[in-house]
């Protein structure tokens, strides 16, 4: 259960830049990547924060320390991820499938909760808050294939398969592209899971 002391706060791009190191540290721990990964990812995360429709949310403990982070932006032609997914969709389902999903979507780019704070509802809370009010028709994300807590979360909030076992250029791991229409249905009738619930 999300503890009463967990706060969920929207991030401006400036807030995000100020917390970049902290956010990357959570990402590296959550994904179990080697520590050097943070440095590699930093320029990309900074570039993301400049994109059209960027928004982020943070989960903080009572002392203001970051427990979790989620961000995304409007997906657009010319972006690497968009073009990779278009290629995969055209190959598997044709132009119509690509247009359906890619015409107007929000890319949920990153969502991570520190391992010590996982399994308390923080991830779902971040995801719901991040997507609440997003003006796009769809939300899309990519996640490594295989059972994980992330998969359970995405299924629980209604994400469906868009592409499975997809290989992004330069990455040997198979990924799933998942998506759904926006807005999300409220959990149990409330619009957003309240902090402290
Ligand atoms: C994926 C991730 C962000 C999910 O965050 P989380 O806080 O662990 O996940 P949830 O909010 O879904 O909570 C998970 C558990 O808490 C419980 N829970 C969910 N909502 C709850 C709520 N409102 N109150 C209490 N408990 C809740 C559920 O029972 C769930 O259990 P389960 O995972 O066994 O099904 C997090 O696990 C993580 O960082 N994983 C590693 C990194 C990663 O894979 N990121 C995504 C890459 S695509």
Stretch 146-171: mean pLDDT: 96
Domains of the chain: 7-73+104-162 (3.40.630.30)
Dist. CA 20 → ligand 1 center (Å):
22
- Residue nearest atom 1 of ligand 1, based on CA coordinates: 150
| pLDDT-based confidence at residue 4 (cuts at 50, 70, 90) | low
**Could you tell me which residues come within 8 angstroms of residue 80 by beta carbon, excluding any fewer than 6 positions away?**
none
154 is annotated as an active-site residue: yes
CB of 59 within 6 A of ligand 1: the answer is no
Dist. CA 58 → ligand 1 center (Å):
15
- Residue 103 pLDDT more than 90? yes
- Rounded Cα distance between 124 and 140, Å, is 16
- Residue 189 pLDDT more than 70? no
Average of per-residue pLDDT values in the chain: 94
Stretch 163-167: mean pLDDT: 97
Note every long-range contact of 160-165, with CB atoms under 8 Å and residues 24 or more positions apart, other chains counting. 162/85, 162/89, 162/101, 163/85, 163/88, 163/89, 163/92
- Residue 104 pLDDT more than 60? yes
* Nearest ligand 1 atom to alpha carbon 27: 42
Out of 71, 73, 105, 154, pick the active-site residue.
154
Dist. CA 19 → ligand 1 center (Å):
22
Range name among 47-61, 117-131, 179-193 with the lowest pLDDT average: 179-193
What is the pLDDT at residue 1?
A: 55
Alpha helices in the chain (DSSP H): 13-18, 20-31, 37-48, 80-93, 95-102, 122-131, 149-156
Range name among 64-68, 87-91, 193-197 with the lowest pLDDT average: 193-197
What is the pLDDT at residue 195?
A: 46
């Amino acid at each position: 259960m999300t503890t009463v002391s967990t706060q969920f706060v929207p991030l401006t791009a400036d807030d995000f830049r100020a917390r970049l190191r902290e956010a990357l540290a959570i990402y590296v721990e959550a994904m179990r990547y080697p520590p050097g990964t943070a440095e590699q990812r930093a320029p990309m995360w900074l570039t993301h924060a400049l994109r059209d429709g960027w928004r982020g949310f943070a989960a903080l403990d009572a002392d203001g320390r970051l427990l979790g982070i989620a961000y995304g932006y409007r997906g657009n032609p010319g972006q690497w991820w968009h073009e990779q997914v278009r290629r995969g969709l055209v190959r598997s389902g044709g132009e119509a499938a690509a247009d359906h999903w890619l015409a107007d979507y929000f890319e949920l780019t990153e969502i991570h909760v520190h391992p010590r704070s996982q399994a308390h509802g923080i991830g779902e809370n971040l995801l719901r808050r991040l997507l609440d009010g997003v003006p796009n028709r769809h939300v899309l994300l990519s996640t490594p294939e295989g059972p994980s807590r992330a998969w359970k979360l995405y299924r629980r909030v209604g994400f469906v398969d868009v592409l499975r076992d997809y290989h992004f250029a330069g990455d040997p791991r198979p990924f799933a592209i998942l998506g759904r229409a926006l807005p999300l249905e409220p959990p149990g009738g409330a619009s957003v899971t309240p902090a402290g619930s």
